[in-house]
Amino acid sequence: MKVRIEILLPLVGFVYIAYFPTTSGELRNYFFQPEILVPFILVFLGLSIMSFGVKQFFGLIKSLKMFFLHDVDSSEIAPASIKGMINYSYVSSLLWILYALVVNSEAINTVDISAFIALLGVSLIYSLILSELLLRPLLKRIEFVT
């Protein structure tokens, strides 16, 4: 198992970008919303496991090490499963948005619209981070290596 040196440049870039919001407290105050994150994760896990099974889901977790190692044999997941999980990431976000719209439609006069739109944006950010910064690069790496 040889460590991939080319992963260091994007990793340093992500750490540099995340350093300033983390130290200023923006991530803690605005980004980590448990009322959004927990249902998002539960719906994503539920849809992924119902569709592809536990073996494929744990294969996804095990194949994350392909980002850091030159280990070709570590991929135990089918690329079609990753494509489906990318879609389920967006579905999880949209389900939470629909839920928030239905629940807040009755109390829309008492809710601050700008805060509500920010919460909807956080839900979309969760799906973008999961699908476009984690799952899609993993899919491209698996397709490139195999």
Rounded-to-integer distance, Cα 59 and Cα 17, Å? 29
Q: At which residue do the structure tokens 């494929």 appear?
A: 56
Q: Which amino acid is at 121?
A: G
26 φ, ψ (degrees, to nearest 5): -65, -40
Domain that residue 27 falls in: 5-145
CA dihedral angle for residue 117, residue 118, residue 119, residue 121, rounded to 10 degrees: 90
Mean pLDDT for the chain overall = 83
Q: Which two tokens stand for residue 55?
A: 């073996």
Confidence (pLDDT) at 110: 65
**Mean pLDDT value across residues 59-71:** 79
Per-residue pLDDT tens digits for 21-43: 778 887 777 788 888 899 999 99
45 conformational bin, left if phi > 0, alpha if psi -120 to 50, beta if neither = alpha
Task: Give the total number of structural domains in the chain.
Answer: 1
